[in-house]
A = this chain, B = another copy of it.
Amino acid sequence: MTERWSDATGNPFLRKLEGFVPLPETDSTLLLQASQNAQEVSAGTDLIREGDPPAGLFLILEGFACRYKLRDNGTRQIMAYLVPGDAGDPDVSLLKAMDHSIRTLSDCKVVQIAPGTARELLERPAIASALRKSALVDEATLREWLLNVGRRSAVERLAHLFCEVHLRLQAVGLADESRFELPLTRQDLADTTGQTSVHVNRALWELSEKGLIELGHGHLTILDLPRLKQLAEFKPGYLHLGEQAAA
């Protein structure tokens, strides 16, 4: 079950960090070891809940998870997707209680790294630096989501979200030029983009109608990426991908 994560290129977390900072052999070995004991977690289970004390470090190796908050009336807002290679809060442990929950949206493979081991990892400068950059990108992504929900139309929001997820999955080798797995319900998309599942559905229809995407069976196919990007006004700078390559 875990052997797939033992080589560097197959491990999305390693791959992501390497995208920010080249890691010395020792560091990557350390990370691979830490990734060994992955847990299978089925869709819709909370990894941690609002109000809980922060617990070490989560790594998502497979599947989609999210950060979210609930209102008293039961409506949900999703604040971030955690896709393979993403980590749940290295240093929230500085604070006393989670201000939000984290839950799987699909079946996932998750590694939970105990606080002690996490500290150990963070003592390695390259890993610490890569994780910090990763956290900065997460924050920039959050800002982009706020712009998305605050200032874009229903159709634009979805288009933008798809462009972003496409790029993020490509970065860890989980999307090809035009197609990737997207195991989200309309309700998930609605809670992400601040809409109703009914309206999401109509917006998706509009995107198909225009020949931009095709969504079904848990997979998204982008039929016309340039036009999709243009519609979404998508500018990938905030993801800070390929900065290392550019340097």
Residues of chain A at the chain B interface (Cβ within 8 Å): 51, 67, 69, 71-72, 75-77, 79, 91-92, 94-97, 99-100, 129, 132-133, 136-137, 139-140, 142-147, 149-152, 193-194, 233, 237-238, 240, 243, 246
Contact = CB atoms under 8 A, between A and B. Distances in A.
A150 B75 CA distance: 10
Given A71-B233, A142-B139, A147 B77 contact: yes
25 contacts: A51-B237, A67-B143, A71-B147, A71-B151, A72-B233, A75-B151, A77-B150, A77-B151, A79-B146, A91-B132, A92-B136, A94-B133, A95-B133, A95-B137, A96-B240, A97-B237, A99-B140, A99-B237, A100-B140, A139-B139, A145-B146, A146-B146, A146-B149, A150-B193, A151-B194
Given A71-B152, A77-B146, 4 more contacts: A95-B140, A99-B143, A100-B140, A149-B150
A143 B142 contact: yes
A79 B142 CA distance: 9
**Residue from A96, A99, A194, A233 having most chain B Cβ neighbours under 10 A:** A99
Given A143-B142, A233-B71, A238-B99, A194 B94 contact: no
A69 B100 contact: no
Contact of A95 (B69, B94, B145, B243): B243
A76 to B, nearest CB: 8
A234 to B, nearest CB: 11
A48 B148 CA distance: 22
A246 B97 CA distance: 13
Contacts of A75: 151
Contacts of A129: 94
A194 B149 contact: yes
Nearest to A137: B95
